Amino acid sequence: MSDDPPSIRLRTGRSNDVVLPVPAHGWRNPRVMNGRVLPLNLDRLRENELLRERGRGALRPLGVGRNGVDRRKPVLILIHGIDGDPINMQPFVNCFEKSRFQLYILCYDDHGRRTKKNGDDLARELVTLKQRFTTSSEVAIIGHSLGGIVTRRALNTLCGSRQLGLYQRITFLAVDTPWHGYPGPSDSGISGFFMDLARPFMADGYEDMRAESTLFQGDSGADNSADRVGLGDVDLPAHVRVHYAFAQRGDVAQDYMEEMRPLLGQLLRHFSQAHPIEGSAQLINFYKALRSASAWPMLAASSRQLAAMQQLSTAYILQQLLLHFPRFAGGHTTVLRDAALQGHAKRLLAAS
């Protein structure tokens, strides 16, 4: 493989076109979001050099040349996961490069900055984008792994500040996002004391991902509404469409089937007898995430209808969960390269 930098060919209309190397961090342009157009090839980006002041996340447009950004197109934002890099989202750049969307990526410090703060950074960037850099009222977001949590936090924050209405249509696809969180001490009671002792030794990016953290469980004493309730407890408005897809192998994030199977019996009782969902914080977090998806009302309605006829079974519920929350070939990161997943994303964004 050549080590030469990628290049672009400028059409001059003459016999000899001009071939120019592509700068690693693209082209400066003060008229675009955050002043720079990044190249469509993400493999040479150094994400830490593309953050905003004090390590804040930055939305960066992708294009060819300094004038390669179309303000009129609907926006599609790609967000990688924890310990990830923008290059992880290259398959989706290739997939949507020639689509109706203007592509953006979120550059953010997934490891050294709290997930709450990254989500709030994205919320601010979405407001700035709409107010200054796009004339479209449609935005789509594909978030992989932690990118899904960051996106949901941003949507919650905008909902609390009543700024979600800046966009008339929002489509969100989360790919293999660990909605359950991981085991660990809570932020309250005696567990909170031990968490305070452990916090200096824990990467900031992992702190909010505990199933019993205030990000998932909420903090009743918080000043803003996004913090007072848990991640899955905010009711998003109808113009926000939420979709989930998962990997078939849980090689990094937990296989979501591990959370789904113990939930099946509870869902059977819930739809049949209105029995509340009970269990671990991880199971409840996962249930709340499913309940927040746009497909949930249809799943719940059909399940209650069968329950009324005493025909509802866990097999039917599992079938419906796999239909509405599909799995695609690959593991946690390799799933992004699956052509079926990319086709699924195209259909969702075309229908939105």
**pLDDT per position as a tens digit, 24-55:** 899 999 999 999 999 999 999 999 999 999 99
% residues pLDDT > 90 (the chain): 77
Evaluate whether 33 touches 105 at the Cβ level (below 8 Å): no
Position 14 pLDDT exceeds 60: no
Could you tell me which residues come within 8 angstroms of residue 268 by beta carbon, excluding any fewer than 6 positions away?
A: 312, 313, 314, 317
Domain presence at residue 15: no
Compute the distance between CA of residue 50 and CA of residue 44 in angstroms, rounded to an integer.
12
Mean pLDDT of 133-142: 98
Window from 150-154, 182-186, 200-204, 229-233 with minimum mean pLDDT: 200-204
Task: Report DSSP state, residue 101.
Answer: S
Q: Are the CB atoms for 283 and 265 separated by under 8 Å?
A: no
**Structure confidence at residue 193 (pLDDT):** 59
Closest to 333 (Cα-Cα) out of 227, 234, 246: 246
Residue 159 reports pLDDT greater than 90: yes
The C-alpha atoms of residue 198 and residue 221 are separated, in whole angstroms, by 23
* Number of domains into which the chain is organized: 1
Question: Within a domain: residue 306?
Answer: no
pTM of the model: 0.92
Say if residue 18's pLDDT is above 90.
no
C-beta neighbour count of 56 within 10 angstroms: 18
Q: What is the structure's pLDDT at 252?
A: 57
The Cα 73–Cα 96 span in angstroms is 12
Structure confidence at residue 1 (pLDDT): 38
Whether residue 63 is predicted with pLDDT greater than 90 in this model: the reply is: yes
Q: What confidence tens digit (pLDDT) does each residue in 281-331 have? A: 999 999 999 999 999 999 999 999 999 999 999 999 999 999 999 999 999
Q: What average pLDDT does the segment 134-141 reach?
A: 98
Asked whether the predicted pLDDT for residue 2 surpasses 70, the reply is no
| 200 within domain boundaries | yes
Predicted pLDDT at 128: 98
* Sequential DSSP letters for 106-141: EE--TTTS-HHHHHHHHHHHHHHIIIII----EEEE
Kindly state whether residue 235 falls inside one of the protein's structural domains.
yes
Is 6 domain-assigned? no
- Give mean pLDDT, residues 186-201: 71
pLDDT score recorded for residue 177: 95
- What are the distances in angstroms from CA 285 to CA 27, 85, 180, 254, 281? 42, 26, 5, 13, 6
Per-residue pLDDT for 13 more than 70?
no
* 277: DSSP letter: P
Domain residue limits at 117: 28-254+329-351
**Is residue 98 in a domain?**
yes
96 Cβ neighbours under 8 A, 6+ residues apart: 76, 103, 346
Query: What single-letter DSSP state applies at residue 180?
Result: T
pLDDT in tens, 78-130: 999 998 999 999 999 999 999 999 999 999 999 999 999 999 999 999 999 99
C-alpha dist (Å) from residue 249 to 187, 327, 333, 335: 31, 9, 10, 9
Asked whether residue 160 carries a pLDDT value surpassing 80, the answer given is yes
C-beta of residue 315 within 8 angstroms of C-beta of residue 214:
no
Q: Is 290 inside a domain boundary?
A: no
Residue 335's domain is classified under what CATH number?
3.40.50.1820
Question: Does residue 44 lie within any of the structural domains?
Answer: yes
